[in-house]
């Protein structure tokens, strides 16, 4: 996203709108970068967890993984909400009108079914990662059986898939 919002037709937005858009686009970039960094961190924590042999240290790593993934999950969700609220508040701005026009491909043909906002998918993914850490913690403390973990994990995956389908259906219905 550009931090230099102009409509391309010589008109530009006022200083407040420009600062709002700059903030929103930077926040969106930060969320994507945090997600990319978190994938590396999550992988490293899973690797460390698998390499350790002491249960207390494994539990500590799992708790850190859970805390980190829940924190990032909430941050991505909040950042996404703020981005869309700012974009909506600037809806009549020439730059946002042009920006939305350029993104119209997302609502046409097969793309209207295939395209999903990245921040939405990141939110679902972090929810699943959070559940993975919870499952590891529950299992390492021997609080539930592996069979229960498999059943609940399957339910979490189905729930995430249903959320993707329901949200896509709402997106398509809103853009008719």
Q: How far apart are CA 149 and CA 132, in angstroms?
A: 9
Q: Which ranges in 90-110 belong to alpha helices (H)?
A: 94-102
Q: Assign residue 19 a region (left: φ > 0; alpha: ψ between -120 and 50; beta: otherwise).
A: alpha
pLDDT digits (tens, 9 = 90+) for 120-174: 888 899 999 999 999 999 999 999 999 999 999 999 999 999 999 999 999 888 8
Question: To 5 degrees, how large is the angle CA 10–CA 13–CA 16?
Answer: 160
Confidence of residue 9 (pLDDT cuts 50, 70, 90): very low
Q: What is the pLDDT of residue 3?
A: 47
Lowest average pLDDT, out of 4-13, 19-28, 48-57, 66-75, goes to 4-13
The candidate with the shortest Cα–Cα distance to 55, out of 142, 130, 122, is 142
DSSP secondary structure letters along 126-161: HHHHHHHHHHHHHHHTT-S-HHHHHHHHHHHHHHHH
pLDDT of residue 38: 84
Give per-residue pLDDT as tens, 87-110: 888 888 888 888 888 888 888 889
- The arithmetic mean of pLDDT across residues 4-16, rounded, is 57
Selected residue with higher pLDDT from 176 and 93: 93
- How far is it, in rounded angstroms, from Cα 93 to Cα 8? 12
Give the pLDDT of residue 8: 47
**CA–CA distance, 44 with 7 (Å, rounded to integer):** 43
The mean of the pLDDT values for the chain is 86
pLDDT tens readout for residues 20-45: 888 888 877 877 888 888 889 888 99
What does the pLDDT read at residue 12? Answer: 57
């Amino acid at each position: 996203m550009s931090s230099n919002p102009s409509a391309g037709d010589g008109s530009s937005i006022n200083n407040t709108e420009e600062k709002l858009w700059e903030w929103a686009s930077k926040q969106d970039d930060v969320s994507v970068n945090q997600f990319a960094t978190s994938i590396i961190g999550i992988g490293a924590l899973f690797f460390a967890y698998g390499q350790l042999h002491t249960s207390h240290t494994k539990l500590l790593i799992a708790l850190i993984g859970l805390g980190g993934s829940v924190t990032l999950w909430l941050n991505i969700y909040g950042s996404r909400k703020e981005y869309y609220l700012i974009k909506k508040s600037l809806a009549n701005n020439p730059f946002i009108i042009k920006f939305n026009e350029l993104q119209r491909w997302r609502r046409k043909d097969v793309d209207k079914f295939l395209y999903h906002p990245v921040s939405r998918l990141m939110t679902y993914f972090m929810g699943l990662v959070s559940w993975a850490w919870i499952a590891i913690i529950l299992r390492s403390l021997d609080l539930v059986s592996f069979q229960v973990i498999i059943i609940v994990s399957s339910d979490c995956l189905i729930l995430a898939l249903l959320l993707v389908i329901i949200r896509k259906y709402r997106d398509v219905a809103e853009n008719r």
